[in-house]
Amino acid sequence: MLEGKNIILGVCGSIAAYKSALLVRLLVKAGAHVQVVMTPDAINFITPLTLSTLSKKPVLVDYFKADTGEWNNHVELGIWADMLIIAPATANTLAKMANGLCDNLLSAVYLSAKCPVYFAPAMDLDMWLHPATRKNVNTLQSFGNTLIAPGSGELASGLYGEGRMAEPDEIVDFLASTLKKKLLLANHKIVVTAGPTYEAIDPVRFIGNHSSGKMGFAIADELASMGASVTLISGPTAQISKQTNIKRVDVTSAAQMLDACLTYYKNAKVCVMSAAVADYTPATIAQQKIKKKDGSLNIDLKPTVDILKTLGQQKADGQLLVGFALETNDEELNAINKLERKNLDFIVLNSLNDAGAGFKKDTNKITIIDRNLQKTTFDLKSKDAVAHDICLKLAQLING
């Protein structure tokens, strides 16, 4: 959820500032770009060197750099950030934020921020419970800022109670959960199939196809980035998911892919069948390697179970099913026939006659045809961009 996000972490003068080091590390590990802005008092609790080393960016404290006179532009920082997190947020800083006071760089960045703002208070029990602090917290929430509530425990004063800054892992989980809820496909379970299937002839040889799995993996990554809970059922491929929260199920044959699809689709909202599943499989599999002989070799083939048609027959009310059609002739006619026969909600058509489309390439050119036979044709794009188009269409259907 935090990958690629530009995050400003505001650190205030509190003993809890020692937790900021771990928070920076966790945010960077999650793939975020972190810019630390400290109040002048905060450097008494943790050094800028520590936080700059972890964030891989110079820490900003003052409006101007004393050695060069260069301005740390709070307006540009406010525009750059995807989110502003103030942790620890002291009673003093909360009061400034609530009342629009602007006497340091962090408070100026806060007033300039165009992004969501989160604050994680840290202070002693009596300070946290004081009516002035409660009023300031309520004011900040009324501005649309988000409170990351403090926890209870032993405080620096020796008292026990509420006021401890939330732990860094709790803050990261809170941020990721909040972002996920705002995404288009949050809380939806989606199954994606990708890659080829290999149908064994003997222990050494197989029947397969040229599918690389690139398109299916791109779709799975895009769906996960939109908040979906994705199960990726993949045939043999060298592809690796970019999103770490995808559940991957590896299969080899069409029969194994069928079993996996039946297992996971029954509890899912959507299945996107982008895998290139073999239509035929050897009737018998030789237990030993078949030796080369003079003359021809004949292999009896039998049809594999049509996974897409099977899922279409079992599709429950409210479930969606998406298929692909890779065609070489009569493209639209064949795609529409497949759409209707297999009870699909839409089909993604691509033709081997289009330059840049097809197996193993990094680009694709598609036409989406829905069950009302409305067509949307797209230009040649990268497979990541094509995945985005497909997933937006899916989000429109899910969200009405």
Residue of 209, 298, 329, 372 marked catalytic: 209
Evaluate whether 8 touches 85 at the Cβ level (below 8 Å).
yes
Evaluate whether 346 touches 366 at the Cβ level (below 8 Å).
no
Angle subtended at Cα 94 by Cα 93 and Cα 100, rounded to the nearest 5 degrees: 85
Binding residues for CTP: 279, 289, 324, 338, 342
Evaluate whether 347 touches 323 at the Cβ level (below 8 Å).
yes
Binding residues: 279, 289, 324, 338, 342
Evaluate whether 105 touches 141 at the Cβ level (below 8 Å).
no
The DSSP symbol for 64 reads B
3-state secondary structure of 198: coil
Residue for token pair 């620890």:
88
Strand partners, 247: 231
Residue for token pair 């806060």:
110
Phi, psi of 35 (to 5 degrees): -115, 115
Is residue 209 flagged as an active site residue? yes
H/E element, 206: strand 206-207
Residue for token pair 């205030």:
12
Catalytic residues: 209
